[in-house]
Structure 1
Amino acid sequence: MKIGLTGGIACGKSTVAEMLVERGAILIDADRIAREVVEPGTPLLQEVAAAFGQDVLHPDGSLNRKRLGEIVFADEAARKRLEGLLHPEIRATMRKRMEEAEKQQPDRLVIVDVPLLFESGLQAMFDEVLVVAVPPDKQLERLMARDGLTREQAELRLAAQMPIERKRELADAVIDNSGDRSDTERQVEAFVKEKGPA
């Protein structure tokens, strides 16, 4: 089974992904792929620099994510332009890795961690979508604490995503990560059992 894993920023998706892997699932991480496609020397990194200016590169030629983030989170048109550059390559790589995983280990769950799954309209790529959620106020607190952001910066990042409550409604399954770790573990365990051998 191919499961799309998503949630809001700072909802604990990585924690849940880890728990699924511990239970035998294969994890494909869209964020990791997103970093790979813009590594120094890649044609895509050159395109990003051409579109957003050389100051989105560090002196060593690697992508200055913080600088790029400042540009695209403050300007929706810029964000859309960046997505237009990156998304086709990221999706193609994701598809390829999903196919490889299914061929090599057809009896295991394939979990694809995609932060903006609904925003990017990728539901059809998966058999089911699993959402990791916490209440919006907790999400804001966690984001500020995790990334050292001001309330205003954190709210801008949240505003760039679909509200977590809407993601809950669209999900095939939800893991509520607002309790303690063992509570989340129990929900993950139940999910894996229901989906068959991971």
Structure 2
Amino acid sequence: MIRIALTGSIGMGKSTVAAMFAQHGIPVFDADAEVRRLQGPGGALVADIEQRFPGTTRNGAVDREALAAAVLGRPDELAALEALVHPAVHAARARFILSNQDAPALLFDIPLLFETGGAEAFDKVVVVSAPPDVQRRRVLERPGMTPAKLDAILARQLPDAEKRSRADLVIDTGGSLADTERQVGRILSCLGLAGAR
């Protein structure tokens, strides 16, 4: 089994690329989706987050805006949140691997892969990248996003150039979807996974 990590800064197209791998039959573990599940209604982390960050939950779920306000720009608070979240995500990832142990490859969509020192756990690291103006436009089109919020998020992430330099493979998502799909196809072929479906 080939374990592939997919990473890249915010707005670079990770979700789009992960969906393309999934269309080729590669099971995908989405770390952000798992965090949303853990913090959503009835999620396993809701009570712990409320205890550590009072007032950041509502109706049995984490209020993501309130939690972001509580930790962004506060390294100690962010570290406390990560100490709650990372072990739970790691456990979910282990369950995902077990449930897909017969697959020829698994893809792990992990936005903060390099930042959390997790790259060594994977056989290949794929970085998605786009020009800064494309990235900024994409992110600022998201509901509730502001330039200040984007800058705070980018401050937590390694620069795109550094991520590209540490990647085994880079997918440029600055062009058309068809061009991105061709790049995904080439990677699957290089890894011997072209017939993964």
TM-score greater than 0.5 by the shorter chain: yes
Q: 1:24: which partner in 2? A: 25
Q: 1:5: which partner in 2? A: 6
Q: 1:173: which partner in 2? A: 169
| Offset at residue 148 of structure 1 (A) | 4.1
Q: 1:164, 1:63 → 2: CA distance?
A: 30
Correspondence 1:190 to 2:189: no
Q: Check the 8 A contact 2:49/2:81 in 1, yes or no.
A: yes
Structure 1, residues 2-27: CA drift from partner, whole Å, max 9, x if none? Answer: 10111111101000011111111111
**Range that drifts further, 27-36 or 6-15:** 27-36
Structure 1, residues 18-45: CA drift from partner, whole Å, max 9, x if none? Answer: 1111111111111122123234445532
**Range that drifts further, 18-27 or 131-140:** 131-140
Q: 2:56: which partner in 1? A: 56
Of residues 88, 101, 106, the one that matches 2:103 is: 106
| Offset at residue 74 of structure 1 (A) | 2.9
Structure 1, residues 115-139: CA drift from partner, whole Å, max 9, x if none? Answer: 1111111112211111111123322
Q: 2:4, 2:43 → 1: CA distance?
A: 29
Residue type matched to 1:92 in 2? A
Of residues 111, 115, 118, the one that matches 1:115 is: 111
Q: Check the 8 A contact 1:140/1:155 in 2, yes or no.
A: no
- Identify, as 1 or 2, the structure richer in helix: 1
Change in 2 beyond 3 A, CA 1:43/1:23 = closer
Residue type matched to 1:91 in 2? H
Q: 1:15: which partner in 2? A: 16
Q: 2:152: which partner in 1? A: 156
Gaps of 5+ in 1: none
Q: Check the 8 A contact 1:119/1:161 in 2, yes or no.
A: yes
Change in 2 beyond 3 A, CA 1:99/1:124 = farther
Change in 2 beyond 3 A, CA 1:99/1:126 = farther
Residue type matched to 2:85 in 1? L
Gaps of 5+ in 2: none
Q: 2:34: which partner in 1? A: 33
Structure-to-structure mapping, 1:69-84, within 5 angstroms: 69-84=68-83
Number of residues paired by the alignment? 193
- Percent identity of equivalent pairs: 37
TM-score after normalising by structure 2: 0.91
Q: 2:166, 2:146 → 1: CA distance?
A: 30
Q: 2:145, 2:41 → 1: CA distance?
A: 27
Change in 2 beyond 3 A, CA 1:99/1:125 = farther
Q: Check the 8 A contact 1:4/1:111 in 2, yes or no.
A: yes
Of residues 122, 132, 140, the one that matches 1:144 is: 140
Change in 2 beyond 3 A, CA 1:27/1:92 = same
Aligned-pair Cα RMSD in Å: 1.5
